[in-house]
């Protein structure tokens, strides 16, 4: 029986591996440093049926249209819908902690329309909005407060007190006020659904287009909490 031959490593494959590794390293060097894609901005809309897109397909709802309007002015942002039909400011306060996720940079607070329809005392509306804004700010979230306005037919005294709520909250909590969510759309039958309350697809596009610059400024001003 012949002796078991000694194992001999062939140097040629090792040489090939070495050359291949060197070429790979050169290719990576020529490719330059890896550039990560810019992080998408996160906007959440805390609101009621208008934010929820009542009577409209998702693509025509306000969050989706706001994302498109932002993109048209050069801002890539995910706009999350946190609207619940029928919600009052009290309802929004109760769920602000979990409906607005922690990675939100800007929250558009768009509540108060149902308080108005139910005749809720303006002082209660103000207290609720103030508490919502403070909760969000304490979490490092920039707030854009979207105002509502009472029609004069509801009663001049109530209308004045209600309309004063939003500027008062914005001043007290040092947040930006978007004066009127339905600006350019309210009371126009061509831009609203048959109930004369909820905007149709054309009306939503107008709202989104008018609001987008304010949201873009809020994103630019946002300073992440450490």
DSSP state for residue 70 in the 8-state scheme? H
Catalytic residue (one of 48, 87, 99, 198): 198
Set 2, 102, 195, 225: catalytic member:
195
| 177 contacts 170 by C-beta, under 8 angstroms | yes
102 is a catalytic site residue: no
**Cα dist from 148 to 32, 51, 220, 221, whole Å:** 52, 13, 25, 24
State the catalytic residue, choosing from 49, 91, 124, 222.
49
* C-alpha count within 13 angstroms, C-beta hemisphere, residue 5: 3
Contact 178, 143 (CB under 8 A): no
Catalytic residue check, 195: yes
| Tally of helices (H runs) and strands (E runs) in the chain | 9, 5
Please confirm, yes or no, whether 174 is among the known catalytic residues.
no
Nearest-angstrom CA–CA distance, 142 and 217: 11
Q: Which residues are catalytic?
A: 49, 195, 198
């Amino acid at each position: 029986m012949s002796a078991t031959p000694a194992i001999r490593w062939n140097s040629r494959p090792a040489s090939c591996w070495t050359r291949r590794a060197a070429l790979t390293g050169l290719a990576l060097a020529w490719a330059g440093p890896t550039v990560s894609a810019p992080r998408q901005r996160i906007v959440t809309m805390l609101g009621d049926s208008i934010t929820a897109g009542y009577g409209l397909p998702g693509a025509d709802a306000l969050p989706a249209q706001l994302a498109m309007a932002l993109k048209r002015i050069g801002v890539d942002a995910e706009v999350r819908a946190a609207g619940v039909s029928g919600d009052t400011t009290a309802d929004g306060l109760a769920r602000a902690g979990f409906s607005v996720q922690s990675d939100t940079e800007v929250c558009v607070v768009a509540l108060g329309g149902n308080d108005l329809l139910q005749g809720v005392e303006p002082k209660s509306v103000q207290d609720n909005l103030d508490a919502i804004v403070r909760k969000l700010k304490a979490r490092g979230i920039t707030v854009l407060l979207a105002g509502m306005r009472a029609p004069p037919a509801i009663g001049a005294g109530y209308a004045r007190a209600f309309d004063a709520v939003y500027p008062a909250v914005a001043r007290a909590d040092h947040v930006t006020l978007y004066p009127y969510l339905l600006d350019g759309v309210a009371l126009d039958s061509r831009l609203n659904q048959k109930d004369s309350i909820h905007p149709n697809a054309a009306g939503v596009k107008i709202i989104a287009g008018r609001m987008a610059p304010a949201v873009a400024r809020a994103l630019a001003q946002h300073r992440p909490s450490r």
